[in-house]
Copies of this chain bind each other. A is one copy, B any other.
C-alpha cells in the first residue's frame, strides 16, 4: 500500500526498514472517489497528502464564484495547503479528487514526529520545500513574461501526461483563462501548427 510513497522518498533519501516501519505506524492510507473533497474552504488543513493513485487538484474560488486551479497532483505528487497545515489557520483552498484516488496522509503531529524520528525525512522536506519554492518562482515568471498562447503550449510540453487526463476547462482555470478563451487559443494553434 505504501510502496509508491516509499519509492518517492527513496528518490531523494535513504530509508532503512526500521524507518519504513515508523512511517507505517504514523501515516494513513485513504481512498477518495472522484469529486470527493480532501479539504474544503474554511477548514484547517489536517494533512499533507501523497497521491499514490489517481489525481487531485487544489483550487480557489473567488468572489464571482470562479474557480482557479492552483495545482494538479497526479500519482507521485504531494498536495496540501501548507500554510494552513503549518500555521493551523483556516484554509481558503479546496482540494478534491479529479479521478478516484488513493492517498497516503501525514497529519501535522505525524509530520513533526517523523521529522524527529527520521532525520532523513527532515532532509527530504527541506528539498521538497526548496523545490516547491523554485517551481512557484518559475510559474510566476511565466505568468509575467509569456503570452497566453505560450503559457498553454509550455504547459502541454512540460506536463503532456497531466494535460491529457484533465478536462480542458480545468487547464483554462489553471492558466487563469475562461474555457472559451482557451478553446479559441487552441483553434488558433491548430491552424498554425499542423
Contact = CB atoms under 8 A, between A and B. Distances in A.
A49 to B, nearest CB: 16
* Identical subunits present: 2
Given A126-B126, A134-B86, A70 B145 contact: no
B134 A83 contact: yes
A68 B126 contact: no
A12 to B, nearest CB: 14
Interface stretch (A24-32, A136-144, A156-164, A183-191): A136-144
Interface of A: 60, 62-63, 68, 70, 82-83, 86, 92, 122, 125-126, 129-130, 132-134, 136-141, 143-145, 176
A51 to B, nearest CB: 18
B136 A83 contact: no
B68 A145 contact: yes
Contacts of A122: 126
B144 A82 contact: no
Nearest to A92: B141
Interface of A is mostly: helix
A137 B83 contact: yes
Nearest to A70: B140
A137 B92 contact: no
A154 to B, nearest CB: 14
A77 to B, nearest CB: 15
A106 to B, nearest CB: 15
A126 B115 CA distance: 12
A70 B141 contact: yes
Contact of A63 (B134, B137, B145): B145
A5 to B, nearest CB: 21
A136 B125 contact: no
15 contacts: A60-B145, A63-B145, A82-B130, A82-B134, A83-B134, A86-B130, A86-B134, A92-B141, A125-B126, A132-B133, A133-B133, A136-B140, A139-B140, A140-B140, A144-B176
